[in-house]
Amino acid sequence: MVNCTIDGKKVCVPEHTTILEAAKEIGVYIPTLCYFKGLNEIGACRVCVVEVEGDQRLHAACNSPVLEGMVVHTNSKKAREARKCNVELILSQHNVTCTTCVRSGNCALQHVANDLNIMGESFPKDLPKQKGSKSFPLIREYDKCIKCMRCIQVCDKIQATHVWDVINSGGKSTVDVRDFYRLEDSPCSLCGQCITHCPVGALRERDDTDKVLDALDDPETIVLAQIAPSIRTAWGEEFGLDAEEASVQRLASCLKEMGFDYVFDTDFAADLTIMEEASEFLHKLTHQEGDFPMFTSCCPGWVRFIKSHYPEYIPQVSTSKSPQQMFGAIAKSYYADILKVSPKKIFSVSIMPCLAKKAECSYPNMTDSEGNFDVDVALTTREVNRLIRAMHISPKKMKDIELDMPLGLGSGAGNIFGATGGVMEAALRSAYYLATGENPDPDAFKDVRGM
């Protein structure tokens, strides 16, 4: 254990504890920007600098350990002025179009600048030029990057796709695509983790809400939506809804209020996927065809990952479409027949948890015999929330409504797609039933859940 003093308060913490963590123990707040516990503790932004008695240099609190007898001042004149100057330098290379930024009101840089009472620009602007396609599902705003390196860390350490890297040096150092000139040519799996870890608006998804609004405004178009199991409670966080309030039925109510004609459950197509994959697995097993293990094809992010990083395993990937695409195909064939309309009159929207779905629905092979896309637009959770706000809908005031039938049905197998290992468990349970004609014990395959 190490004893130290922070802002006049004594604290005793385990050895190797950082100044930032020790300060939190006693309720002392130190602002951070690039810091992300366990992932990015490199002190790149220098916003968390503090003064240590007896040392001329300032210390980055996020990666400097406390030492026995250390006396720390987190808000001294020296630390405060350096912190403010560092943020002003960051702002000199940041396009501060806050009102039109996707991160407005939810931006770490915005919060830090406000807390430091920064009212103007002290340094001349030096903004990098934009490059890359605005039509790609993942968009990088080069003039908003603050070089925090979070995207690099999550891409390398967690997702293992190694898309981002540091280029140039000194004042010109920045983050860009590794080994490729354009992001759309890189091995990006479009998982979207770089977006969720970016503290500002330098990384964002392509916004497709206008396409949906245009479809809703067209009286000749039938607009239907499918809701993925993964987003059912996440969508409500922004509106202060708890897990019980943020139900799929309440989201359906919001969508109907917007003008959607039909709202369905992707669980229906998840069940179709499981039947297809389980049948394919049993066929391969009984006929000893191909190599094992067989991999699921239900996640386009996973399929992009394996194609770009492990192409030798492509023959082992299931040939089934994803639930999103199966649903789109059913909606524009089976359901179009029920409605007695041409598939061209149907505008199919999916509400999905990641960017890879946006890419998947626009692949040229994801069409019907007449060339119509199975799914016209895939929206992320953030996009559907922006639509709810744009329509001035208050989810707290909405009542739950049942989803439309028959595509609103779904079994437990489709529902557990939203849990880690759920797809594997559902596939094994279905394969067991197809092979034996009986349902397995409820806990028969529980060991495949989780990581």
On whether residue 187 sits in a domain, the answer given is no
What lies within 8 Å, CB to CB, of 266 at 6+ separation is: 226, 227, 228, 229, 323, 324, 327, 350, 410, 414
Helix (H, G, I), strand (E, B) or coil at 212: helix
Residue 151 is assigned to a structural domain of this protein: no
Beta bridge partners of 265: 227
User: What distances in angstroms separate CA 195 from CA 138, 261, 329, 380, one per listed residue?
Assistant: 8, 31, 30, 12
- pLDDT value of position 80: 94
In a domain? residue 221: yes
Instruction: Report the sign of the C-alpha dihedral through residues 273, 274, 277, 282, in that order.
Output: negative
Structural domain for 69, as ranges: 2-90
Which one of 71, 90, 109 terminates a domain? 90
**pLDDT given for residue 411 in this prediction:** 67
CA-nearest of 317, 385, 324, 332 to 359 is: 324
212-225 pLDDT, tens digit per residue, is 999 999 999 999 99
Cα–Cα dist 56/204, whole Å: 40
139: enclosing H helix or E strand: strand 138-140
Domain boundary among 65, 90, 115: 90
Q: For residue 33, what is the domain's CATH number?
A: 3.10.20.740
- Whether 120 is covered by a domain: the verdict is no
In a domain, 96, yes or no: no
Q: Which residues contact 334 (CB under 8 A, 6 or more apart)?
A: none
Q: Is there a single domain that holds both residue 276 and residue 408?
A: yes
Alpha-carbon torsion, ordered 411, 413, 417, 423, to 10 deg = -160
* Contact between residue 432 and residue 444 where contact means Cβ atoms under 8 Å apart: yes
Domain contains 9: yes
pLDDT at 413: 65
Residues 229 and 80 in one domain: no
Domain count, the chain: 2
The CATH number assigned to the domain holding 418 equals 3.40.50.1780
83 & 213 share domain: no
Sign of CA dihedral 424, 427, 431, 432: positive
Give the integer Cα–Cα distance in Å for 266 and 352.
Answer: 9
Looking at the domain assignment, is residue 152 inside a domain? no
Residues 232 and 361 both lie in one domain: yes
For the chain, list residues with pLDDT below 50. none
Q: Indicate the residue among 90, 123, 145 that finishes a domain.
A: 90
* Phi, psi (deg, nearest 5) at residue 59: -110, 140
Count of other CB atoms within 10 angstroms of residue 142: 16
Q: Are residues 83 and 216 in the same domain?
A: no
Omega before residue 353 within 30° of 0, cis = no
Q: Is residue 178 domain-resident? A: no
